[in-house]
Amino acid sequence: MKRIVYREWRVPPARYWSLLGILASVIGVAALAFAYMEHEGHWVTGMSNSVVWGVPHVFAVFLIISASGALNVASIGTVFRKPLYKPLGRLSGLLAAALLVGGLLVLVLDLGRPERLVVAMTTYNFRSIFAWNIFLYTGFMAIVIAYLWSMADRKGDPYNRAIGIVATFWRLALTTGTGAIFGFLVARQAYDAAILAPMFVVMSFAYGLAIYMLVLMFSFKEDDRPIGNRILFRLRNLLGIFVLSVFYFTLVYHLTKLYGAKNYDLVGWLLLDGGIYTFLFWVGWVLIGGLIPLGIIYHPIHGRDRNWIAAACGLVIVGGLSSLYVIIIGSQAYPIQMFPGQTILESGFFDGVQGAASSYSPRIPEVLLGFGGVAVALLVTAVGVRVLQFLPESLADEVMPPDEEASGRAAVGAQA
């Protein structure tokens, strides 16, 4: 084992500036989309009084929970004392902060009155989990910055573990809080389930790690830095566990719903009869986001191939966006059950006539805004790794610290 050396990202300037140019263009287009929506009002989006949160919220929630999940890698190194993960900590912190910035921007720019952000920062209703989340998000940012300092500066080293522990609990609170935004809504049948809070935590593990792995593999490949199989396969295996956990929570969520007769219609609609939501559940959430990545991860040959592992990460991300589309938008599209035992024959406000779900089709500006958030997260990351020493020179097996607890298993894994 050698000393881990961190260096700025040294990809050729032409390539680096091209990357920044592409990201800046996406951000520019998103800014125009925002200006258009803000100028005209939300009628130019697909959102309505029935489906009040649309694609921007899918992206925002995805980025926010991924931010929390991306920090996991640092936590494993610091809090759970896995030396193997220590060199990965700085990028983990940077990515967490960057993803959070991207997610929050999308969330804020989709407000009906984004210029009143100062009101949201100064006027609080502490009964609202939303208000708590404002503190959870800003606190997360501050803690991650302190965490990065403790990792990068010798003077910060003595505080590293303490800050890491705080960060771990904070990130758990953050994702629980984000899940609770939906889980505590008694009005809508599909949301009204406390299991959504831990489910969001597990989802954050999977999506955050998938994004982390892709960024790590991309940045290392571009700069010809080696990543050893030991660490890569460890991350891959971890991703497998997280994806399986998402499956488990998905199953329990549906079983919880199915336990009550009042929810039979909801579950039947979602799993069989919900059109785009049924499709996205089975194809996006289950197949693309779950079964195929698991098939790759646990495949004896493909599971060792970096391209396949990267593909698995990409699929987990696509599956994650599908899952959140189903959770956030599908749950709103399903009509609110105000009159159990009655069929609505007519309504002046789309109350689910004959059980019909509300329609929603995203419009281009809102999708562009979502992509803008992703681009902001990647831009912050790209600038961060370029100007500061976030990336280790090498993650090759011989450079990496031994992982005492699992050294035997890791060695076997590397040989296999």
Partner 1 sequence: MTDHHESNTGPAECGPSQPDRRTFMATAAGVTAALVAPGVIMHSVAGPRTEAVTSDVRWGLLVDTAKCADGCSACIEACDRENGLDLQTQPSGAQPTRWENQKSVWIRKVKLQDNQTGRVTNLPLMCQHCEHPPCVDVCPTGASFKRADGIVLVDRHTCIGCRYCMMACPYKARSFVHEVMSNQLTRVPRGKGCVESCTLCVHRRDYGEESTACVDACQAAGHEAIIFGDLKDPESPIRMRLAELASRQIREDLALNTGVRYAGF
Binding to partner 1 by residue 194, rule CB under 8 A?
no
Q: Cα-flanking dihedrals φ and ψ of residue 227, to 5°?
A: -120, 120
- Contact flags string 67-106 toward partner 1, x per CB under 8 A: ----------------------------------------
Biggest CA–CA distance in the chain, Å, is: 73
Among 5, 28, 40, 279, binds partner 1 (CB under 8 A): 40
- Enter the DSSP assignment of 391: E
Which runs of consecutive H residues, i.e. helices, occur in 153-228? Answer: 160-183, 196-222
Among 3, 14, 43, 301, binds partner 1 (CB under 8 A): 43
- What are the DSSP calls for 241-277, one per residue? HHHHHHHHHHHHHHHHHHHSGGGHHHHHIIIII-THH
Cα distance between residue 85 and residue 3, in whole Å:
14
> Is-contact 242 202, C-beta < 8 A?
yes
Residue 147, token pair as written in the block: 């965490």
> Is-contact 164 147, C-beta < 8 A?
yes
Binding to partner 1 by residue 112, rule CB under 8 A?
yes
Binding to partner 1 by residue 177, rule CB under 8 A?
no
Cα distance between residue 23 and residue 17, in whole Å:
10
Residue 140 CB, nearest approach to partner 1 (Å): 17
Binding to partner 1 by residue 291, rule CB under 8 A?
no
Residue 349 CB, nearest approach to partner 1 (Å): 4
In one-letter notation, the amino acid at residue 391 is L
Among 125, 154, 261, 301, binds partner 1 (CB under 8 A): 125
398: region left, alpha or beta (phi > 0 left; psi from -120 to 50 alpha):
alpha
Binding to partner 1 by residue 128, rule CB under 8 A?
yes
Binding to partner 1 by residue 261, rule CB under 8 A?
no
- Of 53 and 207, CB closest to partner 1: 53
For partner 1, which stretch binds (CB under 8 A), given 45-53, 65-73, 301-309, 406-414?
45-53
Total number of residues that touch partner 1 (CB under 8 A)? 52
Helix (H, G, I), strand (E, B) or coil at 114: helix
Binding to partner 1 by residue 343, rule CB under 8 A?
yes
Binding to partner 1 by residue 307, rule CB under 8 A?
no
Q: Distance between terminal CA atoms of the chain?
A: 22
Binding to partner 1 by residue 344, rule CB under 8 A?
yes
Binding to partner 1 by residue 259, rule CB under 8 A?
no
Binding site for partner 1 (CB under 8 A): 40-44, 46-50, 52-53, 111-114, 116-117, 119-120, 123-125, 127-131, 134, 181, 185-188, 191, 332, 336, 338-339, 341-351, 358-359
